[in-house]
Structure 1
């Protein structure tokens, strides 16, 4: 039986407020300064100094500007670090615009294929509604980036630089999503009217040709052959002629991407640890690498990342960056704001509860480039962001280990840093992972 709020209830609530210690002073502080500034802790700032026992030299940070390409920047940053070191090219960047072009193009085809596959369902079915809510977006996953590299390679930023729409993607996204929804109407009608598979495919290909034109106008033409020209830190000039995106990758990076595994820490009842998961309708390249997450408890999860850092290689990771963080200071720490103390209440939820009750999910990808180990345990982590050098310490953030425990959901490491039995499980379950629903929080795009 439902009950309305009574006058007696209201009187009690007001009495409770008046009985709260220092409520008048706290009310003035919050009204004048807002919640976060009123709850901010100086102690956290003094503890989160940017000094680490393991600290990789990675150079100046990149800047994704007004786009949602953090996952792409983070992945390409892990790869550029090795190029910078090996070829002595300070602050070298790979083209985020090149992978952005192909991601948009492949996501469009991925959307069309899912629309065709669900054409027999009503538009208000949960799956179709999920597809139509955001036909495509800037965000992605590590495995989606590797699918693009497998198919298209990568290029230096000098070969395909940024454009207005790559750095400020809202106009492109609005235009492209309008087209994809309009095309969904036509494709669903063809299927439901009994058109042949050849006719549906022909129509889809015409739509993709138009998508390609939109992307070429906004992002430029992706190069098929180019010369790589640079001057190293010793002022020596180099030129490598006649490269393709795939040959550039093979020569200058040549990582075996099949050896890199996405690990998640999702302490929820529906995802037992030490098993492999995938997410329905999550991807970009049809027929390409699919998303595979291996769920580990937080200790094993962190140890894998630490082992890769100890070996001198940075680590791609995904987190809920907006929680318990100060963007300008570059501090990620649960102690940065004392909202419990400010409001004389408790906002505490477990990590699993936050996932189950839609309070949190992965929103941003960055790179771990260091960690401070004290008495054998991590205390804080060095984070390379992609928001430019005007935030944090020249663009680098410091995350407390407590923040890592609560808000980091994904890391990508070489499988050799995992226990033998975990490697065996991944191999055994790779072709038959547990399938999660499209809207599962582990399907969030950074």
Structure 2
């Protein structure tokens, strides 16, 4: 069957007549051209339904602020840990150092990139994997398992010990320069491989490159501490001093989680990823030889049951979603009914969750923390969300997410394995994960 590609004048005339025949078309044209699509299509009755009151509501203190950086995954993960620590030690408005983890993540991602460059050095630059590597050698984003790999190797420290810098708060300059260096180093490593250089020569070249990366990061983020004193007052104003700590001993003493017990659960209802199976993503990670990314794909009902079980136990939940879709940032509302472009334009814009993933309409872009849920007859209607965009958005930085929005745009949670049914837990622990392509949407970084 051969279709004519050109639009003809008769078609245009019919489209014009169709528009003319629609009641109020000129009124709508005036409204949308002056106010924009979102404001014109907003249904403010959604605000009443998204009232920030929840039957389960954890007190987690003030929100953090990642500022002009893409470290949401790191902030969200450290926030879940600080919630736990604040409860144990009666701390108020306490934060763990995001900058400390950020330094080591950048450093390890550089080495991870070099290793992948060497592995793919015999492939042409036009190969899709090589192109994927060179498009973004490293970035601010990451995954829960990647944070676990950093914590396992380097520990954690209080924010007071390694505070934020200009470059951690506003990361574009650092990322641009670091990626420029990594691409330059990639040309050298590929050339060495093409010349048949020995492993010893490649290792020496990479060692010099990492030395320069360390210096670049130390100048921009500050050099990480190796030993420190932890000095604080608790909520009752009692003074505490703990001396001669290392980042690893601080983590064990003040947080103490067995991170192997916390696992990534995804909801990806696409045909290539059957439920109740595990998946990993090629070339996704940061620490060479460290914890690999591993996702267990569950139906949305099981996905939510695990999150609710952890919240009921008094523990917040790291989660990843596509935050920009159908959400009102300033008011902190994530609700499918807030904007109604379908009604405004009389066009069906709907896609299923699977279609959005398969056709590139949606993927995980942001990580936050679930700190509450509203249950009616034990079924969720809306969720309380702790963001990391400061207190000037939402309700002092907290958002409200409808359950329908979660169904459509939430892709990942992290829960303790004890909140999973035994048969599902066994799958997560024993099944060898299927390896997905580097560009699979489940490899998206929050």
TM-score, normalized by length of structure 2? 0.99
Whether 1:154 and 2:156 are equivalent positions in the alignment is yes
Aligned match of 2:280 in 271, 278, 281?
278
2:199 maps to 197
> Where does the alignment leave 5 or more consecutive residues of structure 2 unmatched?
none
- 1:366-423, CA deviations, whole angstroms, 9 ceiling, x for partnerless residues? 0000000012210000000000000000000000000000000000000111111111
Aligned match of 1:216 in 215, 218, 223?
218
Aligned match of 1:345 in 340, 344, 347?
347
Once the two structures are TM-superposed, the CA of residue 21 in structure 1 deviates from its matched residue by 2.3
- 1:240-273, CA deviations, whole angstroms, 9 ceiling, x for partnerless residues? 0000000000000000100011000000000000
Kindly report the root-mean-square deviation, in angstroms, between the aligned alpha carbons of the 2 structures.
0.6
Hey, what's the Cα distance between the residues in 1 that align with 2:390 and 2:182? Answer: 32
1:187 maps to 189
- 1:321-357, CA deviations, whole angstroms, 9 ceiling, x for partnerless residues? 0001000000000000010000001001000000000
1:99 maps to 101
1:422 maps to 424
2:251 maps to 249
1:329 maps to 331
Hey, what's the Cα distance between the residues in 2 that align with 1:414 and 1:27? Answer: 51
- Farther off after superposition, 353-362 or 19-28: 19-28
Hey, what's the Cα distance between the residues in 1 that align with 2:23 and 2:119? Answer: 60
Structure 2 matches for 1:73-88, cutoff 5 A?
A: 73-88=75-90
Whether 1:392 and 2:394 are equivalent positions in the alignment is yes
Hey, what's the Cα distance between the residues in 1 that align with 2:181 and 2:259? Answer: 33
- 1:84-123, CA deviations, whole angstroms, 9 ceiling, x for partnerless residues? 1111111100000000000000000000000000000011
Once the two structures are TM-superposed, the CA of residue 12 in structure 1 deviates from its matched residue by 1.0
2:436 maps to 436
2:233 maps to 231
Structure 2 matches for 1:122-161, cutoff 5 A?
A: 122-161=124-163
Hey, what's the Cα distance between the residues in 2 that align with 1:152 and 1:98? Answer: 9
1:90 maps to 92
2:74 maps to 72
1:359 maps to 361
2:381 maps to 379
SS at 1:116 equivalent: helix
Hey, what's the Cα distance between the residues in 1 that align with 2:90 and 2:416? Answer: 24
SS at 2:351 equivalent: coil
Once the two structures are TM-superposed, the CA of residue 18 in structure 1 deviates from its matched residue by 1.2
SS at 1:227 equivalent: strand
SS at 1:336 equivalent: coil
Aligned match of 1:163 in 162, 165, 174?
165
Whether 1:54 and 2:56 are equivalent positions in the alignment is yes
- 1:143-172, CA deviations, whole angstroms, 9 ceiling, x for partnerless residues? 000000000000000000000000000000
Hey, what's the Cα distance between the residues in 2 that align with 1:138 and 1:390? Answer: 23
Hey, what's the Cα distance between the residues in 1 that align with 2:173 and 2:273? Answer: 38
Hey, what's the Cα distance between the residues in 2 that align with 1:267 and 1:77? Answer: 29
Runs of 4+ aligned structure 1 residues displaced above 3 Å come to none
- 1:70-91, CA deviations, whole angstroms, 9 ceiling, x for partnerless residues? 0000000000001111111111
Hey, what's the Cα distance between the residues in 2 that align with 1:115 and 1:192? Answer: 12
| Aligned positions, number | 444
1:118 maps to 120
Hey, what's the Cα distance between the residues in 1 that align with 2:285 and 2:5? Answer: 46
SS at 2:442 equivalent: helix
Hey, what's the Cα distance between the residues in 2 that align with 1:397 and 1:133? Answer: 33
Structure 2 matches for 1:258-337, cutoff 5 A?
A: 258-337=260-339
Structure 2 matches for 1:9-20, cutoff 5 A?
A: 9-20=11-22
> Where does the alignment leave 5 or more consecutive residues of structure 1 unmatched?
none
TM-score, normalized by length of structure 1? 0.99
- Farther off after superposition, 100-109 or 17-26: 17-26
